[in-house]
Amino acid sequence: MKVALVGIGKIAVDQHVPAIANSDDWELSATVSRNGSVEGVPAFTDLGEMLSAHPEVRVVSLCLPPVPRFDSAMQALRAGRHVMLEKPPGATIAECHALDAAAREAGLTIYATWHSRHADMVAAAKDWLAKRRLRRMTVTWKEDVRRWHPGQAWIWEPGGLGVFDPGINALSIVTEILPDDIHVASAELDVPSNCQTPIGARIAFHHPKGAEVTATFDWRQDGDQIWRIEAETDDGTLTLADGGAVMAVDGTPTGTAAPLSGEYPRLYAEMAALVTKGRRDMDLRPMVLATDALALGRRIATDPFHD
Ligand code: NAP
């Protein structure tokens, strides 16, 4: 299947290009980006021009930041192309519903990808939790923003999500592995005085069966980077560490890794399957939790942030 990549920035270069290059299912036919390109691949700066010049491109994979993504996604759908969306699938929930409706009406696939759900041990953790009663879940996502998002101004602008940009990865795993739906009960947001989005967040969730579920996201982490979910149950404690790559029960490593190797090869395999079956996948639960935390969260002004 021929695919075009739109928005040649960090994630396109780090993950999408190699995942496509190493797959027998996919061929990168074109890129659309104002400044970026991929060696040996026809490069465009305008999406409309690419769509006209490459009618054989069946899938457009959007790696733009969330705010500019809607217009490009709608343009691709109107041109009859299947669409794959980086996380988060849009800047607002209504936008995502509009894209899903447009895809449905046109008989096209749209896939809101959540790459962290495809980390090695997420499926194994889901299986393990399905058979147990949850008492407490503690989510800790602490990383150094300067290391992972150097020079990315959009993350601090409205719609950029701030620390929820990585935090939504944790929420995508939580909503995947928990058998019951949770919702935000309260939140505190640390917002640098010169930014529009939070650098830290603490969230408490309501769990329908009374488990205590909390999350801490922080972008000011020095030293060890932490992407960990701990779930205490009536039959042991599960730890999902390194963003879902490592699983342990009561401290003992366990679980079998998902098939294929790597989150992005799994995403592209899933997209190929969705297109082949004529299906859509627009699960907005992580987005609902993030936007509700931003709506409900008490804002605490903190030191200005300078990259
Ligand atoms: P990035 O490095 O800033 O790249 C985004 C690209 O989109 C830019 O290089 C830019 O390319 C293009 N773009 C078009 N309109 C833009 C605008 N208004 N503002 C900024 N860039 C614009 O960002 P990224 O880290 O790749 O993230 C892109 C998406 O992938 C985000 O939704 C993010 O959450 C997700 N993601 C990122 C990572 C990660 O580790 N970085 C991991 C997983 C998912 P041109 O200037 O050439 O047009």
| Residue 58 CB partners (closer than 8 Å, separation 6+) | 1, 2, 3, 81, 82, 275
Compute how many other C-beta atoms are within 10 angstroms of the C-beta atom of residue 224: 7
Coil/strand/helix, residue 107: coil
Distance 64 CA to ligand 1 centre (A): 4
Number of domains in the chain: 2
Compute how many other C-beta atoms are within 10 angstroms of the C-beta atom of residue 66: 25
- 141 and 236 part of one domain: yes
- Residue 158's pLDDT is 96
Residues with CB under 6 A from ligand 1: 7-12, 33-36, 63-66, 68, 86-87, 115, 148, 152, 154, 165
Residue bearing the CA closest to ligand 1, atom 43: 11
Could you tell me whether strands 2-6 and 27-32 are parallel, antiparallel, or unpaired per DSSP bridges? parallel
Residue bearing the CA closest to ligand 1, atom 10: 7
- 164 and 66 part of one domain: no
Distance CA 249, CA 236 (A): 7
Q: Which two tokens stand for residue 77?
A: 């759908």
- Residue 226's pLDDT is 98
- Residue 234's pLDDT is 96
Distance 166 CA to ligand 1 centre (A): 13
Task: Please say if 2 is a catalytic residue.
Answer: no
**Mean pLDDT, the chain cut into blocks of 10 residues (307 residues total):** 97 97 96 97 98 98 97 98 98 98 98 98 97 97 96 95 98 98 98 98 98 98 97 98 97 89 96 98 98 98 95
Distance 221 CA to ligand 1 centre (A): 22
- Residue 172's pLDDT is 98
> Which whole-number Å values give the CA distances from 53 to 37, 40, 48, 56, in the listed order?
17, 16, 9, 9
Q: Which domain holds residue 105?
A: 2-112
CATH number, domain with residue 36: 3.40.50.720
- Residue 255's pLDDT is 87
Last residue of a domain, one of 65, 92, 112: 112
Burial class (CB in 10 A: 0-12, 13-18, 19+), 164: buried
Closest atom, ligand 1, to C-alpha of 11: 26
- Residue 257's pLDDT is 87
